[in-house]
Structure 1
Amino acid sequence: MSYLSLHVSDCRNCYKCIRHCPVKSINFSDGQANIMEDECILCGTCYIICPQHAKTIRKDTDRVREWMKTHRVVASLAPSFIAKFPYTNRNTMYEALAKLGFSDVSETAEGATVIAAEYDALLASGEQDVVISTCCHSANLLVQKYFPHLLKYMAKRLSPMQTHAKMMKEKDPDAKVVFIGPCIAKKEEAEQYPDIVDAVLTFEELEEWMEEEDVSPVILPDERLKGRARLFPIPGGIIRSMKADQPGVSYMAIDGAEQCIKALRDLENGALKNCFIEMSICEGSCAGGPVMGEQRYSQVRNRVQVESFSGPEHWKIDSPVSNALYKTMNWIKVDQQTPDEEEIKRILAHIGKTKPEDELNCGSCGYNTCRSKALAVYRGKADLSMCMPFLKEKAESFSNLVTKNTPNGIIVADEQLNIQMMNPTARHWFSVAKEEDIRTMRLNQLTEVDEYIEAMLTGRVISGRKSFDSYGITAEQNVVYDENFRAVIIILRDITGAESERSAREQLTQQTLEITDQVINKQMRIVQEIASLLGETTAETKIALSQLQERLRDE
């Protein structure tokens, strides 16, 4: 089931989502980016950074509304709400959620309190010399899909969301439990482990629902003791919620996908031992989640908000028995074929990379290296056309080939009419020996420039005949002004030969008419003389010869 989807018409081929995806789980084909669900870890990075807002999160609000017609629906509210809604408190949010139709609301931090104690107990048991927290489902998916050999280090305990849902269902077995938080991956976690959490709403969905129902949080007194587990959504918050007092164990907090991947590689290389790793895919932990909106970028403010909302002591909570908090974590196979070196070289050659120095590793395609891009092409995740330097070089080569070999003259000038480029044909016409000589030339050295200025002022294409008298050139001219590049482009077709032929034809015609006039006039005189001797009229003959003379002139 898709948790993240794409508006196809909105994707603009910028490759930004590929560049930022920590596991490159995006397929690019037919000019569109597509999320590969079997490889995705649902971190939401593509959702955050897409400049076209082409990614959308599956909404479950309508499903929850339907349940409210037939069931009691209770909410588990993530502790990061205080960073998302900074001018609220626990009672404020409880009141707002009650207006939406929730029968009961309590804090997910209650489940976090139980899990913090579970982590302490796991470390004390000595079962694992390395323990990785399992609160972040995206981090869990990262290990399950890309580091399955490290699954033995996972804590294998329910997340605070799941633990709290169990607690709420023990209290109200027939209720539907809805988790509300800053995370996309929690939607998948709820469905991967069914019958615990019934639905997940993001803070974004909650905001939209409140706006639709015209519900605005109203500040109310909050007398509840500030629990220590409210620290969970900030970096180091899990460790600070634990006793974290096991001798010989190093406690470390890792946030951000890149740092998590580096830590896992260190672990597989044997560089980490006897440690507890608090792992969160989002930078800034849950308070920096993908649906925190603008608040996700305010890590310092988020930390202040969360810390001011937490306290030094844990709440007194009756926790479920430990064996009810265990969860299985299996390897999720990602099918990724690996080509041999010859195949990689063949793919690289298709994009003009036949030598090591051709591999620029510029990252414009979204992949860190040219070889990573070639691997993605082999796996069907990328197109050859995604290599920007290659396409640019290819386009320039093609353009240069056409410009160099066309029989037409091409001149490019800037807005000050300084000549920037002349193709070989134009340089030959205007007696420019070397390409570098162009740099000091202006258009007014070649001809009058009125039509070039007109093209710039009007933006219209100016067409017509143009004589370059000093160079003996007559041309059909098209003048185009490119506003983006602020350049005047002049395309000239040499019609000097055709003009000479036309002039010669006109001269011959004129000479023929003059001779014809002389012949006709002479014949008229002869006819008149004969008619005079015979005593007859010449009117009809005169009319016929005059009509012949006019017809010849018209032709």
Structure 2
Amino acid sequence: MKTFDELYKDILNRKVKLEEPLPPQYDSRHLDCLLHPEKYAPVIPVSDCEKCAYDRACRQSCIFDAIIRDEEGKLSISPKLCSGCGACMDACSMERLTARKDVLPVMKAVREAKEPVYLLVAPAAVGQFGKDVTLGKLRTAAKALGFTGMVEVALFADILTLKEALEYDRHVKKKGDYQLTSCCCPVWIAMIRKIFHELLPHVPGAVSPMIACGRMIKRLHPDAVTVFLGPCLAKKKEAEEPDIADAVDYVLTFQEMQDILTAADIHPGKLADMKKEHASEAGRLYARTGGVSRAVENMVQQLRADRNIAVKAEQADGTRACMEMIERIRAEKTDASFFEGMGCVGGCVGGPKVLLSREEGKQYVDDYAEAAEFRTPLENPYVLKILEELGFHTVEELLEDESLLTRRL
């Protein structure tokens, strides 16, 4: 019996044709997962898991209790409870867990869509597809695959930076007040919602840049198809959460996009560079640990220069470090007033489906941020243009809107 990954690669390479009966050497359950990934958790078992030498290391690694045992002792992953953090895949020495693949429905949607299809690209994408592959070249590759266009999600990180800074100014007034950033990491938010829910009053109800970007496109083109591209399995789960499922139709990882480009024989490094500068340094830095804190700190100071407000920030990356930081907050053993959590070590550049080491990814992101034409969101004319198109006359009105940038935590 061939493996899940072998079936996936054989379909991409047209060795298995979907219009024909599935050959007997493949598992029909694997085909169902490839055709209907939305029915499954972001992480899936690829073979029946019997008792291993490491005494269920995968189950012990899951802080969300998403790995459950049935009456026969077999393990499965709950689509409802799994956050997509990927810790269980790292823990499984038997390699019986793998990431869900959403490639087939995405490419079907691209081929058959009668409305525009947009690729929403996370800032961590810079450098991931080759040292000479700029986001402008990736935009050309996306068009070659059939996408109508590509949007840089860092632009919406700029807008969320404004909202986070305004929330900080409104709610952090005295010693002991603090804010837990809510912008980008779905694993961090899942930890707070499911494990440390008493801290929710300190989390502004802001959507992630991915959701803000998808909602913006849907507002301009209600029937558009939106596909997010990033390093993160947890984004697959985030896109399906009921209160924000209106924004992003599909999520692809960098590895999945590389699989598509390889199967289509498209080499982005050889393509024309459709360069567009839409995001500031602040939005681009969201891709690595410390980026959100730096962006919000600079934005608070720029918005309230007359008050000389200081933001004392603390960061943690990786689920264990995030939990330790939360315990320090609960025990009042920190005097920071702004806390940034990232589920992956290094932030998004350390995600489970990156194509570079996190050190290389961070360097590409830092260089890309340094090269930005604008330093902060307020200096970015595209931010101001979008806010005007959405009907915001002042940046303070971002706090009042509940349809685009806000979610129910």
The TM-score, its normalising length taken from structure 2, stands at: 0.73
Alignment partners' CA distance in 2, 1:197 and 1:6: 25
Q: Does residue 329 of structure 2 align to residue 239 of structure 1?
A: no
Counterpart of 1:302, as a letter, is G
Q: 1:6 aligns with which of 41, 45, 50?
A: 45
Q: 1:330-409, aligned counterparts within 5 Å?
A: none
| Residue number in structure 2 paired with 1:284 | 346
Alignment partners' CA distance in 1, 2:50 and 2:347: 29
* Structure 1 residues 11 and 90: alpha-carbon distance in aligned structure 2, compared to 1, 3 A threshold: farther
Deviations 1:231-251 (A, max 9, x none): 111111112223253725311
Does structure 1 retain, via aligned residues, the 8 Å contact 2:205–2:407? yes
* Structure 1 residues 327 and 154: alpha-carbon distance in aligned structure 2, compared to 1, 3 A threshold: same
Alignment partners' CA distance in 2, 1:262 and 1:33: 28
Counterpart of 1:17, as a letter, is C
Alignment partners' CA distance in 2, 1:118 and 1:162: 14
Alignment partners' CA distance in 2, 1:233 and 1:287: 6
| Residue number in structure 1 paired with 2:232 | 183
Does structure 2 retain, via aligned residues, the 8 Å contact 1:7–1:55? yes
Q: 1:264-275, aligned counterparts within 5 Å?
A: 264-272=326-334, 275=337
Does structure 2 retain, via aligned residues, the 8 Å contact 1:182–1:289? yes
Alignment partners' CA distance in 1, 2:145 and 2:254: 14
Q: 1:42-191, aligned counterparts within 5 Å?
A: 42-68=84-110, 69-70=112-113, 71-87=115-131, 88-126=133-171, 129-134=177-182, 135-191=184-240
* Structure 1 residues 74 and 39: alpha-carbon distance in aligned structure 2, compared to 1, 3 A threshold: closer
Alignment partners' CA distance in 2, 1:170 and 1:38: 28
Counterpart of 2:40, as a letter, is S
* Structure 1 residues 252 and 38: alpha-carbon distance in aligned structure 2, compared to 1, 3 A threshold: same
Q: Which stretch of structure 1 is more off in the superposition, 121-130 or 89-98?
A: 121-130
Deviation at 1:149, TM superposition (A): 0.8
Counterpart of 2:59, as a letter, is I
Alignment partners' CA distance in 1, 2:327 and 2:312: 17
Q: In percent, how many aligned pairs have the same letter?
A: 25
Deviation at 1:218, TM superposition (A): 2.5
The TM-score, its normalising length taken from structure 1, stands at: 0.55
C-alpha RMSD of matched pairs (Å): 2.4
Deviations 1:190-231 (A, max 9, x none): 111121111111112211211221111125446544731111
Does structure 1 retain, via aligned residues, the 8 Å contact 2:140–2:274? no
| Residue number in structure 2 paired with 1:551 | none
Q: 1:204 aligns with which of 242, 252, 255?
A: 255
* Structure 1 residues 11 and 215: alpha-carbon distance in aligned structure 2, compared to 1, 3 A threshold: farther
Counterpart of 1:280, as a letter, is M
Q: Which stretch of structure 1 is more off in the superposition, 206-215 or 140-149?
A: 206-215
Q: Does residue 352 of structure 2 align to residue 299 of structure 1?
A: no
Flag the structure with more relative contact order, 1 or 2, with Cα contacts below 8 A and sequence separation at least 6.
2
Counterpart of 1:154, as a letter, is V
Alignment partners' CA distance in 1, 2:315 and 2:255: 27
Deviations 1:77-119 (A, max 9, x none): 0111114224210111011111111001011101101011111
| Residue number in structure 1 paired with 2:36 | none
* Structure 1 residues 52 and 213: alpha-carbon distance in aligned structure 2, compared to 1, 3 A threshold: farther
Counterpart of 1:163, as a letter, is A
Alignment partners' CA distance in 1, 2:405 and 2:68: 37
Q: Secondary structure at the match of 1:328?
A: coil
* Structure 1 residues 39 and 166: alpha-carbon distance in aligned structure 2, compared to 1, 3 A threshold: closer
* Structure 1 residues 235 and 11: alpha-carbon distance in aligned structure 2, compared to 1, 3 A threshold: farther
Deviation at 1:170, TM superposition (A): 3.3
Does structure 2 retain, via aligned residues, the 8 Å contact 1:47–1:290? no
Alignment partners' CA distance in 2, 1:53 and 1:96: 32
Alignment partners' CA distance in 2, 1:177 and 1:184: 17
Q: Secondary structure at the match of 1:325?
A: coil
Deviations 1:1-23 (A, max 9, x none): 42221123466613332343344
Counterpart of 2:232, as a letter, is C
Alignment partners' CA distance in 2, 1:257 and 1:248: 27
Counterpart of 1:204, as a letter, is Q
Q: Does residue 280 of structure 2 align to residue 227 of structure 1?
A: yes
Equivalent pairs counted in the alignment come to 326
Does structure 2 retain, via aligned residues, the 8 Å contact 1:233–1:285? yes
Find the structure with the greater CA-based Rg. 1
Counterpart of 2:61, as a letter, is H
| Residue number in structure 2 paired with 1:308 | 367
Alignment partners' CA distance in 2, 1:130 and 1:171: 36
Does structure 2 retain, via aligned residues, the 8 Å contact 1:109–1:160? yes
Deviation at 1:146, TM superposition (A): 0.6
Q: Secondary structure at the match of 1:92?
A: helix
Counterpart of 2:254, as a letter, is F
Deviations 1:423-476 (A, max 9, x none): xxxxxxxxxxxxxxxxxxxxxxxxxxxxxxxxxxxxxxxxxxxxxxxxxxxxxx
Q: Which stretch of structure 1 is more off in the superposition, 29-38 or 306-315?
A: 29-38
Does structure 1 retain, via aligned residues, the 8 Å contact 2:172–2:179? no
Q: 1:309-324, aligned counterparts within 5 Å?
A: 309-310=368-369, 311=372, 313-314=375-376, 315-316=380-381, 317=383, 318-319=386-387, 320=390, 321=392, 322=398, 323=401, 324=404
Unaligned runs of 5+ in 1: 330-555
